[in-house]
Amino acid sequence: MAKFFISCAINLEELALKELKLKWPMFLDSPLPEINLVKGGLELECEIPDGLALNLILKIPTRILLRLKEQKCRDIPKLYNIVRKFPWKQYLKKEKVKWHITTQQSRLIHSKKIEKACADGLNDFFKANALPEKIKNAPNFCEQQVFIRINEDLLTLSLDTSGELLHIRGNRSFRGHASLRETYAAACIYKLVNDMDETNSLLDPMFGTGTFLSEAHDFFLPTQRSFPFFDWCEPSPLKSTKGHWRFKNYHGRDIDSLIVDKCELSFVEKKVADIFQSRPEHFDVVICNPPYGKRVKLDIYPVDYFNKLLSVMLENYSPIRLGILIPHTIRMDFKKLPAHYKLTSTLPFNNNGIKVNFYVINKY
Ligand SMILES: C[S@@+](CC[C@H](N)C(=O)[O-])C[C@H]1O[C@@H](n2cnc3c(N)ncnc32)[C@H](O)[C@@H]1O
């Protein structure tokens, strides 16, 4: 058994836990382990191949770390010795790694000195236990990352299993300036529809590069990209699954014809359209990440803009459910929603430096 830490953005922990509990039995044969929710992620103990497979099936987390060692450590010689004695050959396919150092409330505070001690320790380990030449010279093995965290003099040594952050799904080449990270988009879409049974149509009326639509479509499809652990351990085989909820059809609208032309998503019915000129047309679920007025200025007062947008969407599309991202500085008055609509939940998170709220509105 091994310990894993599944990291995710602050405030998305509960959703990440729900996703894990839902998907584990769908994709893996072993029983769901006990999961501990902590700030910024989830901790669990499981067989290594199961933990590695989580990289392929989870869409909300940002990175998955394999915990290698935890030990009190207050000085550089001790750190050097811990690293030098660790059995790296089981996990590494190169004799050098990229180090990520964080330290808090500890005697060891100088990142450069910490990194040097780790690099020296690893170097000396491999002097005594060299990797076979065949492995050392293999050109295809990717660089591995080791995370060193020292918190209140407790050292945690972890091997990164994800490589690139998990929002890189590996299947899309076009990402716009204002694209939402896929992990946030997955969290929003899951928050919006995870309790719905029958779902027919999904519309993003300002779809940009289509992140919401692709995340909704792929939520139950394993991520197809390479991971650093492919070089040293096979993940558990995944049971095939048809998914839990899927929309029958996906619609994207955007005012920018260049963006619409570039959209690579074959399952999307797309159109160039200005939301404020749209005609009544029903969609079951509507999700939207409008411009925030930071890079591109809005032509009316922001709170009026977001209120107008909301009423246009509710009146024109009459959705069963609507989700919208709005900067947290905008004080919305949800008491003024059209009849039969009610704000049911709010998910606050930090969208790359801008604090936003994802509001879920239900028809009742
Ligand atoms: C923040 S971006 C959306 C990003 C998208 N969620 C993604 O991840 O790529 C806002 C989008 O709204 C579009 N937009 C702005 N005003 C619009 C309008 N009046 N009608 C339709 N689309 C509009 C912009 O062209 C832009 O693509």
What the block records as the tokens of 248 is 């029958």
CA distance 280 to 208: 21
Q: Region 75-94: what's the mean pLDDT?
A: 95
How high is the mean pLDDT of the chain? 93
Q: Tell me the one-letter amino acid at 142.
A: C
Closest CA relative to residue 164, chosen from 177, 137, 188, 145: 145
For residue 116, the 8-state DSSP code is H
Helix (H) or strand (E) holding 196: none
- In this prediction, residue 264 carries a pLDDT of 87
CA distance 240 to 299: 49
Q: How confident is the model at residue 175 (pLDDT cuts 50, 70, 90)?
A: low
Checking DSSP bridges between strand 321-327 and strand 354-363, what pairing results, if any?
antiparallel
Ligand 1 atom 1 nearest Cα: 291
Q: Is the CB of 216 under 6 A from ligand 1?
A: no
Percent of the chain having pLDDT more than 70? 96
CA distance 181 to 207: 13
Helix (H) or strand (E) holding 35: strand 35-38
CA distance 322 to 92: 47
Q: How far is the CA of 283 from the centre of ligand 1 (A)?
A: 18
Ligand 1 pocket test: pick from 206, 274, 286, 356 the residue with the most ligand atoms within 8 Å of its Cβ: 206
What the block records as the tokens of 158 is 């972890």
Q: Give the position, in ligand 1's atom list, of the atom nearest the Cα of 275.
A: 20
- In this prediction, residue 352 carries a pLDDT of 87
Q: How confident is the model at residue 179 (pLDDT cuts 50, 70, 90)?
A: confident
Q: How far is the CA of 286 from the centre of ligand 1 (A)?
A: 14
- In this prediction, residue 243 carries a pLDDT of 65
What the block records as the tokens of 114 is 């910490």
More confident residue, 139 or 105: 105
CA distance 233 to 185: 30
Ligand 1 pocket test: pick from 183, 254, 270 the residue with the most ligand atoms within 8 Å of its Cβ: 254
- In this prediction, residue 113 carries a pLDDT of 96
Ligand 1 pocket test: pick from 255, 278, 358 the residue with the most ligand atoms within 8 Å of its Cβ: 255
Closest CA relative to residue 27, chosen from 5, 59, 4, 58: 58
Q: Give the position, in ligand 1's atom list, of the atom nearest the Cα of 180.
A: 8
Q: Give the position, in ligand 1's atom list, of the atom nearest the Cα of 296.
A: 15
Q: How far is the CA of 303 from the centre of ligand 1 (A)?
A: 17
What the block records as the tokens of 172 is 């899309």
pLDDT per position as a tens digit, 268-316: 999 999 999 989 999 999 999 999 887 667 778 889 999 999 999 999 9
Q: How far is the CA of 255 from the centre of ligand 1 (A)?
A: 7
Q: Do 103 and 198 form a contact (C-beta atoms < 8 A)? A: no
347: β partners: 358
Q: Region 192-215: what's the mean pLDDT?
A: 92
**Per the confidence metrics, is the pTM higher than 0.85?**
yes
pLDDT per position as a tens digit, 326-340: 999 999 989 889 889
Q: Give the position, in ligand 1's atom list, of the atom nearest the Cα of 211.
A: 8
Q: Tell me the one-letter amino acid at 9.
A: A
pLDDT at residue 176 above 80? no
CA end-to-end distance (rounded Å), the chain: 47
Q: Do 309 and 275 form a contact (C-beta atoms < 8 A)? A: yes
